[in-house]
Amino acid sequence: MSISHNQLREVMRRWTSGVTVVSVNHRGKEHGMTVSSFTSVSLDPPLVTISLMKDSRTLELITRSNSFAITILSRGQTEISTVFAGQIGEDGDRFAGLETKRLASGSSVIKGGLAYLDCEVFEIYEFASNSLIIGEVIAADIGEQDKPLLYFDQQYHQLQE
């Protein structure tokens, strides 16, 4: 028995997740996108995973640079998430006007985030319409002492005080 794309989307909307921006810099081309499919998979070695559409510019640049960075967004960064989710097209400068910090990999993270990870590509698995990227964390840092930005049922939410 197979389910439809719409059925799976409807069910997955019930999963609450944090929100991140995955960023990459390859030979001066900087790009990033909002990603909620992010998780830690191992402490030794320190590995995280993200899932990106195969045709995304972000995946193309990660494949070329063999590295990427992750900003875990705070509750005040809804607009940033929206911009990186595609409000500005693939060729637009999504980093314009943002305060950023460049990491060892060359990728930038967005200041004001809860935490930051700098990663080298450990492995990429291609399947269906997506690629699963496993990154080895080469550096990590804590950012703001704030609450996370959450995503549930196609809307942003915040933890209650």
Q: Contact at 8 Å (CB) between 130 and 51?
A: yes
pLDDT of residue 88: 66
In this prediction, residue 94 has a pLDDT band, given cuts at 50, 70 and 90, of confident
Residues 58-83: pLDDT tens digits?
999 999 999 999 999 999 999 999 99
Top CATH class of 17-158 equals: mainly beta
Residues 109-141: pLDDT tens digits?
999 999 999 999 999 999 988 999 999 999 999
pLDDT of residue 159: 86
Domain ranges of the chain: 17-158
pLDDT of residue 93: 81
pTM over 0.85: yes
Mean pLDDT (whole number) for 133-154: 95
For residues 34 and 153, give the distance between their C-alpha atoms in angstroms, rounded to a whole number.
16
Mean pLDDT (whole number) for 150-156: 91
* Contacts of 29 by beta carbon, 8 Å cutoff, 6+ apart: 61
Residues 42-52: pLDDT tens digits?
999 999 999 99
The helix or strand, by DSSP H or E, that contains position 43, with its residue range, turns out to be strand 38-43
pLDDT of residue 28: 87
